[in-house]
Amino acid sequence: MRRLPLTLLAASLMLAIGSANAATQTTVPAAAVKTAEQLRDKAMNDNTAYEIVSSVTTEVGPRLAGSPADARGREWAIAKFKALGFDKVYTEEVSYPLWERRSEHAEIVAPFPQPLDLIALGYSAGTPKGGLTAEVVKFDSLDALKSADPTKVKGKIVYVDARMTRQKDGHDYGMGSAVRVGGPVIAAKMGAAAFLLRSAGTDANSRTPHTGVTGFTGPDGAIPAAALSNPDADQLSRIVGYGKPVSIKLDLDVGFNGTYKGANVIGEVTGKTHPDQGVAIGGHLDSWDPGTGAIDDGAGVAIAMAAGKLIHDMPQRPDRTIRVIAFANEEMGLWGGKAYAEKHAKEVSKFQLGTESDFGAGKVWLMTASVKPEARGAIDQIAKVLAPIGVAYDASKPGGGGSDLSQMHGKGMAALTLVQDGTNYFDYHHTANDTLDKIDPKELAQNVAVYAAFSYMAAQADGDFGSAPGAFANDGAEE
Ligand SMILES: [Zn+2]
């Protein structure tokens, strides 16, 4: 081989890299950008999502996974997708352990007898018939529990009093959910009789406990576990502060009861050029049972359905498919998301981009993305369309795809995170107060505008966003 002068070699190499780059950049055609702007503006004044979330919370109500309402929720979703005119509506089976809540009761027995307001946590064991009475041992944090002397915990009711504070991005839920998920498991391993926590919630003065799942995976090793409302936690902590032995009687009739077969419900607006390629959006159909699952996550299902409907109603089908997924049983461990990712991992490269809405109904204020470098330009184009409705773009952080779709992202799907204003979310999250009145129709509509615009642009893009098996394994996205 003839040796080129070094400078010439470098220059020709740079030229080759430059032209290869230009050829592989993903872009959104100008016409599609214009249509996305129109979709965005139409969505801002569209009431469809509010009608959908009103429908599911009113006609189905609470949708605890595996309960009779789970099946009614599925029937509702199938009928709603069809009524909205989606081209294809189908279900995919999801099976998971059935956990039931039948009744719960608690009282302080000594030193100051009185009732307590609490709610059992998902996958909690029940107490023996007639209840369980034991002494309380209090900790201020999960770390304090972890480093405790097990002999001080054995046979006791462990109580962790860690208070969540209100944040726009809701990040304190990381701590709150860690106590709720990890605390019961750690306490059980140390031989505790039961576990209580101050609710993972930010409503300091509402006597509504926040439920949620624990880290138990089956009846083996599970102990009774429940959350006290914030005022009840205040009361219990004051009583513990007297320095006298405190005992509580717990009577929880809850527990595992075999296996349940549910399903993800999927509606598609079929792409006209590449029907096998698509954009995945969604929410989860199940909810916790004390409220009606309006902000968690009727809103997410409604946002995604309404965005799909807006795209469906255009004169022409998009180039690629818009796939709206109403996931089964997110609440007790992403069962729907895991089943979906398991089933579709092999087709991951067919997914342009995806993300799920599961953080209430507050406005989207920030977008982050995990895409290949050559698709950053297309993400910039999406950001430009979303900026006028208050969405900032942080190119330095990864996108995780939301709760259930984080599982597809884990398989290599390019993903966005569309961060909503969660300032009030954890006041109501997983409580009896998660009801329709907490949703502002205008803020909900802004979410639909974001989902419709980005989905359409991703469906029309010239090029892909980098989805491939294992593509984003180390992007650091947290879910
Ligand atoms: Zn949720």
Confidence bin at 18 (pLDDT 50/70/90): very low
pLDDT at residue 14, rounded to an integer: 46
| Dist. CA 194 → ligand 1 center (Å) | 26
Residue 213 has pLDDT above 70, yes or no: yes
pLDDT digits (tens, 9 = 90+) for 138-181: 999 999 999 999 999 999 999 999 999 999 999 999 999 999 99
Q: How far is the CA of 248 from the centre of ligand 1 (A)?
A: 31
Tell me the average pLDDT across 406-434.
97
Percent of the chain with pLDDT over 70: 94
Report the C-alpha gap between 302 and 345 in whole angstroms: 26
Over 90: is that where the pLDDT of 92 sits?
yes
CA of 50 to the centre of ligand 1 (A): 17
Say what the pLDDT of residue 22 is. Answer: 53
Q: If you measure from the C-alpha of residue 430 to the centroid of ligand 1, how many angstroms do you get, rounded to a whole number?
A: 9
Residue 53 Cα to ligand 1 middle (Å)? 14
Neighbours of ion ligand 1 (CB under 5 A): 296-297, 358
Q: How far is the CA of 265 from the centre of ligand 1 (A)?
A: 16
Report how far ligand 1's centroid is from the alpha carbon of 329 (Å): 9
Distance (Å) from CA 140 to ligand 1 centroid: 27
Q: Please, which pLDDT band fits residue 475 given cuts at 50, 70 and 90?
A: confident
3-state per-residue secondary structure call for 213-269: ECCCCCCCCCCCEEEECHHHHHHHHHHHCCCCCCEEEEEEEEEEEEEEEEEEEEEEE
**Distance, CA 398 to ligand 1 centroid (Å)?**
20
As a whole number of angstroms, the distance between CA 395 and CA 371 comes to 10
pTM value? 0.94
Q: Which pLDDT value is given to residue 23?
A: 55
Ligand 1: distance of its center to the CA of 1 in Å? 62
Q: Looking at the DSSP assignment, which residues form a beta bridge with residue 281?
A: 324, 355
